[in-house]
Amino acid sequence: MLKHLKRVFIQFHPSDARATPARELLARVGNDKARKSNPDCVVDYKVVETAQIPRSFIELQFADNEQHKLYTADLKVADIVKLIEQKATEMELRGVMKDVNFDPYSSQSTGKAAAPAAAAAAAGGKR
């Protein structure tokens, strides 16, 4: 789960029922298996024990430096995990495309994406 993350920060109030996703995520990212997946990922948390209950949130910083701040009141831990997995898949796909010198936005790419468009243009726009 931590493979593509640089940093995870979780803040919650211990008696806030809306903080359940934050506590659950902390349990998931703090276990040995998750920590071994990326020992360089910094996992930090703050338990706020004040009279006024602040909003619980999670900050994620990915390896590409993209950051997300998620307030947990209306989320489930599955939603947060899904976001992490989707971003990880996107980063892996970008890495593969870079490895094969494929740029979907360039006609100069060594990939084959430009070929169907060129064939359609040569056929007068018909496919």
How distant, in Å, are the alpha carbons of 13, 64, 111 from that of 3? 27, 12, 28
Question: Cα dihedral angle (19, 25, 31, 34), rounded to 10 degrees?
Answer: -170
Is 44 within 8 Å of 8 (Cβ atoms)? yes
What is the per-residue pLDDT for 112?
52
Cα 37 from Cα 28, distance rounded (Å): 12
Under the banding of pLDDT at 50, 70 and 90, the label for residue 114 is: very low
pLDDT band at 127 (very low <50, low <70, confident <90, very high): very low
Residue pLDDT, tens place only, 15-58: 999 999 999 999 999 999 999 999 999 999 999 998 888 999 99
Domains with residue ranges and CATH for the chain: 5-100 (3.40.30.10)
pLDDT of residue 102: 86
pLDDT at 119: 45
